Structure 1
Amino acid sequence: MKTIAFGTLKGGTGKTTTCFNLAGALAQNPNNKILLVDGDPQCNLTNDIGLDCSDMDRNNIRTIFDNKKIDPSELIISGVLEKQPNIDIIPSNILLIKTEMLLVSVAGREKLLANYFKNNEEFFSQYTHIIFDTNPNLGVINQNIFYFVDSIILVSDVSLNAIQGAELFSFLWEENIETLGIENNIKALVINNFDKRINLAKDLQDYYLSEDEFKDILVETPIPGSVAMKDTSLNHEPIVTLQPQHQAAIAIRKVIKELISREVF
């Protein structure tokens, strides 16, 4: 079982769309069984998959922090994508931000999620991949997620703000892992919304390749920006099944292939 989280400190990079579509490409292999976990109170991944995050009666990631003894089977929504029944999800909820505020004073707060998954290891072992989406910060919920996962994938768009966001994330997480006593688990950097016609796009690639902290983790294939990728959210369907021959779908499959070869996925 591999555990992966998508992270950034800049909004608007297309992180959730990238997460959703890479999971969809991974699910093309019928031997894979994927659990998506939405750790963002904005619920973008939950919405992308076609669920209403304002449903207060449904269990979600917040329930893990509120009730550590809950049976994990009660958290899971199965078969959410008709064409890819091997994808399940633990959705998010808009009140997750309230849970984050309550956790600030809890002892050992960064390890609560890891403890829950460890205590329910037998149940979660049915999945080949557990993939988390996060919001752009390093708050308590995200620290729980990043502490737990094997690999963090940073997502950058083509902008100077995205560079600053990636650098700041790397710097702050380096400080956190010293306190938490773990190794640096930032394993990949994906460039999204790439347009080779824009001069900054090539400059951005060159910059990341020139920096020691990014040159070994930059994914070779950038994901092109397109209306088709945005449509995946509206249609609640990954591009590999929605428009399998689209250039973005081809890029997504190349990214998955590279990340598998690097043992991130």
Structure 2
Amino acid sequence: MGKLRAAFYSLTGCQGEYLTILGMEDILLDLLSLVDIAEFKLASSKEYDGKVDIAFVEGSVSTERDLEYIKRIRGNSKILVALGDCAVWGGIQASTSGQDPKELMRSVYKTEKNLYGFLGEHKGISEVVPVDYEIQGCPIEGKEFARVLIDLVRDVKPELPDYPVCIECKVREIPCLIVERGLPCLGPITVAGCDARCPSYNTACIGCRGPIRDEANVAGELEMLLRKGYDRERILDLMSLFGARYKGLRSLIEGGKS
């Protein structure tokens, strides 16, 4: 049996995920040698529009081109993996959800003309087509990508974190920054996988890994931080930075800014 064919595609994003992968110099060649690379735009100008076994996609669905492209990618791939917060949740740009697209154009480009075929909002890939696996983070963790790729090559279902950063704090015996210092830490609603890097440096989690899919209690987090004296709008802005399109959060944001 030959190698699986894999491709790395980009929608609207900064390609930080691919920079992370290409920066894994110590294992990069061995890792990517596990598959036949059909396309990897940041590493090569080669383009491929055929069938692949695994499609890795970064970036949000923000333009008409993105929408058409991701549908074609989905149709051409057996397994689709969303890489990074833009692909999973729409990214930081999704924090503009609900704002007037014409006003966004005016504020940035000084025109109301719909440049680049902007769809009016930034969506995660799963809002448009079925996604098999999601690797969260802004950017992703290289070791997590490596585990997923190896599992897929071995025909093993990847196991991705479905618990909060708080669990990693407990494992590493890091004092709770909410309890001990009263900081507005988003660890309780943010998916693990970073080894609680920021709390380990005594810095509150800002949620860059994105919310825990279907389980983040954003209303409870907001209520807790309000009791600690934090401003509602500040907390909602913080939560919306990486998770504006999370279920339940959009209504909280709209309610807090009305």
TM-score normalised to structure 2 length: 0.34
TM-score normalised to structure 1 length: 0.33
Structure having the higher Rg: 2
